[in-house]
Amino acid sequence: MIWVDTIIQGVLLGGLYALFAAGLSLVFGIMRLVNLAHGDLIVFAAYLILLLVSLLGLSPFVAAVIAAPIMFGVGWALQRHVLNRVLGPDILPPLLVTFGLSVVLQNALLEGFSADSQRLSSGEITTASVQMLGLNLGVLPLLTFASAILVIVGLNQLFYRTELGRAFRATSDDAVTAGLMGIRPERIFATATAIAMLVVTLAALYLGMRANFDPNIGPARLIYAFEAVIIGGLGSLWGTLAGGIIIGVAQTVGAAINPEWQILAGHLAFLIVLLIKPRGLFPRAVD
């Protein structure tokens, strides 16, 4: 029974990793941009929520609702004024720019908030639990997992059921031809990054309520996100959720065997999947 519990905890943790990864997957899927600052943007959003919580005395959930449109604007402006300038046939400039952005964000947060670790306290919900199937499950992990499912369902609906989603896919296929059809690729890219920042805000909310964070934890979140995206197969959002779950389960099972193995077990699971299926579990595109 302890194993079932461990695995379920891992699955729920996978929801958090899927939230880390969904924004990354969205941006990569549409513009082949690897945003190395993705993890730091999550941490940045967490500090933004923290700031709203401490300044206005709000609950983290309300603060996240206020932070979301701000992050949307940050994403739009970042893409429109910085990243669009470096997108092109050469993949190196966007990597360098987002790497630089990652360093700048970490140091700015360090300057502004010090290296002390912080937490979003949400009162009872952090420790609340429910009995389900004979197991004691935390409300917060359940909420995180449900949010991840909702985000992925929502993004899938957006992609496959809306006019904007059609434009996303068309621009991803062929930006020049999309332009000929009246689509402005720069605007599509800015919208995509802005939407990714909404998901980032949600990820930041759960990250901050679940554990302590400080300005330097961004890159590790980026790695988990990356691994989830790659395990799932590039371009598949459900695959990203599966990837998050695999890493989450590997980490909790690893930790159950020996607490020192938690992080290592996640990375090993990633390597094993890569060995068996180099293109991920559910690859969408052939490129």
Partner 1 sequence: MSLLETHSLTAHYGDFQALFGVDIRLEQGETVAIIGANGAGKSTLMRSISGVLKNGSDQVRFDGRPIGDLTADEIMARGVAMVPEGRRLFPSLSVEENLQIGTYGRKVQGHWSLETIYDMFPILKERRNHPGTALSGGQQQMVAIGRALMSNPRVLLCDEISLGLAPVVIKDIYAAVPQIQDAGASLIVVEQDIGQALKVSDRVYCMMEGRVTLEGPADTLSREAIHDAYFGGAAA
Residues that bind partner 1 (CB under 8 A): 163, 166-167, 169-170, 172-174, 176-184, 285
Nearer to partner 1, 115 or 180 (CB): 180
For residue 167, the minimal CB distance to partner 1 (Å) is: 5
Nearer to partner 1, 90 or 111 (CB): 90
Tokens of 221: 């979140």
For residue 174, the minimal CB distance to partner 1 (Å) is: 6
- 233 in Cβ contact with 281 (< 8 Å): yes
Nearer to partner 1, 271 or 285 (CB): 285
- 61 in Cβ contact with 143 (< 8 Å): no
- 248 in Cβ contact with 258 (< 8 Å): no
Tokens of 106: 């970490």
For residue 40, the minimal CB distance to partner 1 (Å) is: 30
Q: Which residue has the tokens 């609950």?
A: 59
Nearer to partner 1, 110 or 181 (CB): 181
Q: Which residues fall within 8 angstroms of residue 63, CB to CB, at 6 or more apart?
A: 49, 50, 52, 53, 56, 120
Q: How far apart are CA 99 and CA 143, in angstroms?
A: 32
For residue 22, the minimal CB distance to partner 1 (Å) is: 19
Nearer to partner 1, 173 or 260 (CB): 173
Q: How far apart are CA 161 and CA 143, in angstroms?
A: 26
For residue 88, the minimal CB distance to partner 1 (Å) is: 15
